[in-house]
Amino acid sequence: MNFMVVFLHVLSAIVWVGGMVAIRLAVHPSLLKISDDTVRIGRTLEILKRLFVVVVPFVVILLVTAILMALELKGSTLYSLVLFKEGIWTIMAINLGYMVYARSKAQSAFVANDLMRAKKLLAPLPKYLLPLNILLGIVGLWMGVTLRGF
């Protein structure tokens, strides 16, 4: 296995999951302390935009390196576990895609001064979507470490 492929794969997973953990556990509680809806929603949109700009390239790297590593294990007894693990990352990527879409729609609503719609569009992100991706990411990381031990 090419060391650089494994390194980029692990680094990408760490940046993606770590970024989501930081946003959910450190940034989000601080944003909730902002009482002005316009300021809070504006800051949330900016933070999410910056997060997505950072993590999306790493998601692409993660998926490409996953395919490269999976090809090396094709035909082995571990291949079904590899496919399951990469299925987890794929679900996470789809979830991330939805978050990017929801943020884009919320940005449009915010620009149109429709704060209630923007707020409604953003609400599921910290409540459900980020925690789901964090949980799946931790499971994916655990599986990756386990698979590397074989």
The answer to whether 66 and 53 have CB atoms below 8 angstroms apart is no
Using only the alpha carbons of the chain, give its radius of gyration: 17
d(CA 105, CA 101): 6
| pTM listed for this prediction | 0.92
Q: What is the pLDDT of residues 60-100, one digit of tens each?
A: 999 999 999 999 888 888 889 989 998 999 999 999 999 99
Tokens of 79: 């291949």
Q: What is the pLDDT of residues 111-127, one digit of tens each?
A: 999 999 999 999 999 99
Domain boundaries, the chain: 3-148
